[in-house]
């Protein structure tokens, strides 16, 4: 962290010497909070900026682009594109680097920190903007970015959390990690996280809560009520075959300076804004402008409906191969979210891949689990290799990756991913057998 912080300080000084800045960032929760962090810092420093939020970094994004420009939550895997930007360029990312960038580049992987688990893009950006002025009050946004990428509050994230608490940016309390506040029955009946067998059914939800004698607002539960509900949720998840209880119970982060107090609600709102192609609405929330909060909540409710429908299709139509499980669909609205929910709550034994044929492209989202990663799974390698072999592109993190392939190449792509994942998991088993034999 000391080496990363020193590099972050150098980048901050260089940015402060710029007369203006183009900001280009990803359009998911981590990318939008990353943009929010740097834009807030630029605004406070009196540096004019223009922000663009993209689904992916490709040729169209850099045509005619001149610096100074800062790329957030993207760029580390595209050195050939970044090198073509004329003028000063900065890359603040947490994806595994590919090749070498010839510009100022901050990435946790370069400093021995795992960007998939311990530091998000928003956290990386925060490391820079904390040297651009009195910006500790923005630390909550860095935590929202980490939560958006399903990261735990460990390692570098824990350091940011401690700084956020110390500065008064956030408050921590024990509780149930739900993305909405309000009456417990209402929150549980419409929440997709956690994904329970009564999700979407108000009557079953009420029966579950009545059996536990739970009522009141979810954010106010404490003592015996909280303990009783937590135990029941853990047992229910285990009965569903899920080991995601640790992501439902524990430290609840409350934001003290943002447009909403519930950190998970902000994650939900930002993801919905990105999915509905209005990431700019999410950026205004990160700039602490609540004028569009009602619109963002409407979009989130609409998006949740799509998620529930597609989760139903995942239950009904997913197919298990030898080493992976997949769902092929057309015009999905929530492929990445469905992959994440599916691997956490429904199908935990194999990596889960969703393929979505939409607008003459096949977009792919793949998710794994920490136990699979421990066995050797690396989805970034698997998706990149398989996609490139069929004329597409892919990459990301060991546990969560994406790709795009030409229509008609889905089956070949799946076959290659299944083969690569099989070799990764088999290699781990072989290595363990070798260690065991050596021990004998």
Q: Are 91 and 103 in contact (CB under 8 A)?
A: yes
Query: Is it true that 2-169 and 318-430 share their CATH fold?
Result: no
List all residues 6 or more positions away from 71 whose beta carbon is below 8 Å from its beta carbon.
Answer: 24, 25, 57, 82, 89, 90, 91, 92, 93
The per-residue pLDDT for 1 is: 85
pLDDT tens figures, 383-440: 999 999 999 999 888 999 999 999 999 999 999 999 999 999 986 555 554 444 444 4
Average confidence score pLDDT of the chain: 92
pLDDT tens figures, 170-185: 999 988 899 999 999 9
Q: Are 31 and 80 in contact (CB under 8 A)?
A: no
DSSP 57-88: --HHHHTT-BSSEEEES--TT-HHHHTT-BS-
Q: CA 65, 71, 73, 78 torsion: positive or negative?
A: positive
Domain ranges of the chain: 2-169, 175-306, 318-430
Whole-angstrom distance, CA of residue 278 vs CA of residue 395: 24
Q: What angle do CA 176, 226, 195 make, to 5 degrees?
A: 40
The per-residue pLDDT for 430 is: 53
In this prediction the pTM is 0.84
The per-residue pLDDT for 434 is: 46
pLDDT tens figures, 353-376: 999 998 888 999 999 998 999 999
The per-residue pLDDT for 195 is: 85
Task: Report the top-level CATH class of 2-169.
Answer: alpha beta
The per-residue pLDDT for 432 is: 53
Task: Report the top-level CATH class of 318-430.
Answer: alpha beta
- Write out 184-202 in H/E/C secondary structure: HHHHHHHCCCCCCCCCCCH
Q: Residues 111-128: what's their mean pLDDT?
A: 96
The per-residue pLDDT for 436 is: 42
The per-residue pLDDT for 437 is: 44
Tell which residue, 18, 40, 35, has the closest CA to residue 138.
40
Q: Are 383 and 401 in contact (CB under 8 A)?
A: yes
Residue 325: pLDDT band by 50, 70, 90 thresholds?
very high
Residue 239: pLDDT band by 50, 70, 90 thresholds?
confident
β-sheet bridge partners, residue 86: 66
């Amino acid at each position: 962290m000391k080496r990363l912080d020193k590099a972050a300080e150098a980048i901050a000084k260089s940015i402060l010497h710029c007369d203006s800045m183009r900001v280009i960032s990803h359009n998911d929760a981590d990318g939008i909070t990353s943009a929010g962090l740097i834009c807030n810092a630029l605004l406070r420093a009196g540096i004019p900026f223009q922000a663009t939020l993209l689904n992916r970094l490709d040729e169209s994004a850099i045509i005619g682009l001149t610096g100074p420009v800062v790329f957030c939550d993207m760029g580390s895997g595209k050195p050939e594109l970044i090198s073509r930007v004329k003028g000063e360029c900065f890359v603040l990312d947490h994806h595994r680097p590919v090749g070498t960038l010839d510009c100022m580049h901050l990435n946790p992987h370069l400093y021995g920190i795992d960007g998939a688990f311990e530091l998000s893009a928003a956290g990386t950006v925060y490391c820079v903007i904390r040297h651009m002025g009195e910006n500790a009050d923005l630390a909550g946004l860095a935590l929202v970015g980490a939560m958006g990428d399903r990261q735990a509050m460990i390692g570098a994230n824990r350091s940011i959390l401690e700084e956020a608490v110390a500065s008064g940016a956030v408050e921590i309390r024990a509780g149930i990690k739900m993305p909405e506040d309000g009456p417990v029955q209402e929150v549980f009946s419409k929440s997709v996280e956690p994904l329970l067998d009564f999700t979407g059914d108000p009557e079953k939800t009420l029966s579950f809560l009545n059996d536990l004698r739970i009522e009141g607002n979810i954010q106010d539960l404490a003592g015996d009520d909280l303990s009783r509900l937590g135990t029941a949720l853990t047992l229910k998840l285990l009965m569903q075959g899920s080991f995601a209880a640790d992501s439902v119970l524990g430290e609840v982060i409350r934001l003290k300076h943002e447009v909403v107090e519930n950190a998970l609600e902000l994650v939900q709102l930002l993801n919905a804004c990105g999915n509905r192609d209005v990431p700019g609405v999410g950026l205004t929330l990160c700039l602490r402008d609540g004028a569009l909060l009602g619109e963002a909540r409407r979009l989130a409710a609409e998006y949740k409906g799509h998620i529930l429908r597609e989760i139903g299709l995942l239950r009904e139509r997913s197919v298990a191969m030898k080493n992976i499980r997949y769902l092929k669909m057309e015009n999905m609205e929530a492929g990445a979210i469905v992959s994440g929910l599916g691997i956490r709550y429904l199908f935990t034994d194999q990596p889960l891949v969703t393929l979505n044929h939409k607008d003459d492209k096949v977009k792919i989202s793949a998710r794994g689990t920490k136990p699979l990663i421990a066995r050797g799974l690396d989805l970034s390698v698997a998706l990149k290799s398989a996609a490139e072999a069929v004329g597409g592109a892919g990459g990301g993190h060991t546990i969560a990756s994406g790709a795009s392939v030409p229509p008609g190449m889905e089956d070949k792509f799946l076959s290659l991913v299944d083969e690569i994942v099989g070799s990764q998991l088999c290699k781990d088993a072989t290595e363990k057998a070798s260690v065991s034999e050596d021990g004998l």
